[in-house]
Structure formats: structure tokens, C-alpha cells
Amino acid sequence: MRDTALSLDVQATGVAAVDLRRKPRLGEKVIQSFLLICAVTSIFTTVGIVYELARESLHFFTRQSWENTNKRIVADVGAQAATFEVSQGGAVLREGDIVRLDEEVMQIVSRTSDALTVARGQQGTAAAAHDAGATLFKASRATLREFFTSTKWNPQIGHFGVLPLVISTLITSSIAMLVALPLGLSTAIYLSEYASERARKTLKPILEVLAGIPTVVYGYFALTFMTPLLRSILGRDVVEVYNMASAGIVMGILILPMVTSMSEDALSAVPNALRQAAYAMGATRVETALQVVVPAAFSGLAAAFIVSISRAIGETMIVAIAAGAGPAFTFNPFQAAETMTGHIVRISGGDISYDSIDYNSIFAIGLLLFFMTLTLNVISQCIVRRYREVY
């Protein structure tokens, strides 16, 4: 219908029609297809990572491990016996606990001070006779409640509380941000509002050099320079050789270029008209920078800060070298404590067997770390949308 009307119009006017439809371009189609493939690959890579983390974490929370109770049966136990005596001491046993003698699994029905009444042959095992002196093992399984509330972490012996690793991670990251945020924001304000073009071109590449230094170098810098410095200032009795403070300070130096660069970009994006208006009202350069430019760039600055926090939480080598090599539930930054990433490095670098409780625990920690950084990124996007200024 449209083509008919067009031909009639051409015949009536005698003017040749111009085809304004977009002509297909092969190069454009290829580039568009390539970009689509890259986007889809990125999405599927993320989905694959989350899937693997979730699958192995599920094994961690569903697998059953056995803890030595340091209890032994006092006398021989026949295949039909439902009650037997056990030695004193050792782990506490309660009604409903799953225990194991040799290869037979049992469930405790009731107990007295020195005897257990059990249901024999549980979990597909067969009731069998056991000799006196056989060791009693207790089943343990990680639960979400214990995982998030317990203060002990040692999966090999049935302690599944990740809280010590989380606390040390948050402490080191907080120290890093206390170092990086003031310095980074101040440097960004100087580069954006005070520095000449020549000074900006000189200082920004120097700051970027910090981002190119390997993190393992930062780790040894924290251990061999920052820790002795803190010990000389605060005392050797206060600051341990491995401590969270030195690791956090050096992490702050590591993420300083990120904070500075992103903050400077946010400040530079503020229109000059706002600055000129402030100057016209009699404001000084400091007042303009702090009371006009910084509030106007708040959404970009908040995004820079939160992304930097995510970077600090995910840092590995500095904390693995300088913070400590063992979980410790402490809020003292001058004591040694292992972070989540540091624990992953230490455990994965050892001789752990595939599909063991320690192996699966790495993925549970990694999944928790993923959700922590994901939450920070979501908060960042919400802040950007909420406070973004459009000029």
C-alpha cells in the first residue's frame, strides 16, 4: 500500500523518489554480532562461576564428617545389643546424635552417665559386633546457623563458624578505607580544582604506578616495613609480628589510585557553570570545592568508595602474607588474624584432597565473599541512581 502510494506520487510529480531506508552494512553487522557474543560470554561466565560456587558449597553444608569423641566402648558389643557402656571424658554426647563404631552408624536414643542406648544399623549400615576399646566417632554437619554465628572455624574437627574470618576481613578493609578515602578524595580535589594541566599530567601517571605494583610486593612491604614501623611506635608488646593493622594500611595504599582516579573523574564531570556561579557569589576556591563541587559529584564519589571497598575485601596476597595464618576471633587490629581470602590461599595451597571437608569449605567462603561484593555493588548502583545529578 505504501509502495503504491509512493509510485503514484512519483508519477504525479515526475520527481524520482529517494530511498531513505537504512542500507545493510556488513562491517556493522559483524561488530554488532561480536559485541553480542562478548556480552553473552560474560554473562555465562558469571553464571558458571556462581554455579560452581553454589554446587561445592552445597556439598559443604550437606556432607557428614566424623569427629573423634575420645570415648571407647568398655566391653565387647554384640550385633544385637542396643545398650553399651562407654568410657568417661571426651566429647559430650546427646540424644539424637549420630555416632559410628568401626563401619556401623548408630543413633543415640537415650544416654546415662556411662551408657548409651542406640538404634543400630543406621544410614544403610549393618549391625555388627564390636570389640572392647573401639573408638566412638560423632557425626557433624555444617548448618547455616553455626556458619554465621559460631566463633570457631576448623572444619576438620567440626567447627564451622566463619565469623572469625569475616570479622578480620572487615577490620582490614575498614583500615584500608580509613587510609584510602581521605587521601584519595583530597588528591582528587587537588587534581580537579587546584592542579595545573602540567601538574595533572605529571601526578596522575605517578599515582597509576601504584596500581601496577604486584600485590605480593605490597605484602612483603607490609611485613618488612609497616609492621616494624608500627612496633617501633606503639611497642613490641602491643603490635604482633603478623597483624591486621599493617595489612590494612598497605591495602589502603594499594587502592589509593582507584579511589583517586574514580573520584577525580566524578569531580571533573561537574559543569564549570556551577563553579563560576559560586565564584560570582563570592565563594573561595575551598568553599566552591567542598560545598559545591563535592556535593554535586556525590553519586560518583559514593560509587568510587564502594567499588574500592569491594576491591579491599577481595584483596588476597597482602593479608595472606602480613595479617596472619590462622583464624582468630578478635577485634584488636594489632593481633594476627586470618581473613577470608587469606584462608582460601592457605588452604588451597596445601595438600588437601579433592571433595574433602576443607576443599568444600573454600567454596562456601568464596560464595559468601561473592555475595558480600555483590551487595556492595548493588548498593553502589542504588546510590548512583538515587543521587545522580543531571545538568
pLDDT tens for the 391 residues of the chain, in order: 445 544 545 455 555 566 667 677 777 888 999 999 999 999 999 999 999 999 988 888 888 888 888 888 888 888 888 888 888 888 888 888 888 888 889 998 988 877 889 998 888 888 888 888 888 888 888 888 889 988 999 887 778 899 999 999 999 999 999 999 999 999 999 988 888 888 888 888 888 888 888 999 999 999 999 999 999 999 889 999 999 999 999 999 999 999 998 898 889 888 888 888 988 888 888 888 888 888 888 888 888 898 899 889 988 899 999 998 888 899 999 999 999 999 998 888 766 777 778 888 899 999 999 999 988 888 888 887 877 766 5
Check: CB of residue 70 under 8 Å from CB of residue 133: no
Grid coordinates representing 150 are 559460631
Check: CB of residue 319 under 8 Å from CB of residue 254: no
> In Å, how far are 80, 136, 140, 167, 235 from 229, measured between CA atoms?
68, 51, 44, 24, 10
**% helix, strand, coil for the chain, step of 5:** 60, 10, 30
Q: Which residues pair with 139 in a beta bridge?
A: 66
Q: φ and ψ at 381, to 5 degrees?
A: -65, -40
pTM exceeds 0.75, yes or no: yes
d(CA 297, CA 244): 32
d(CA 12, CA 194): 68
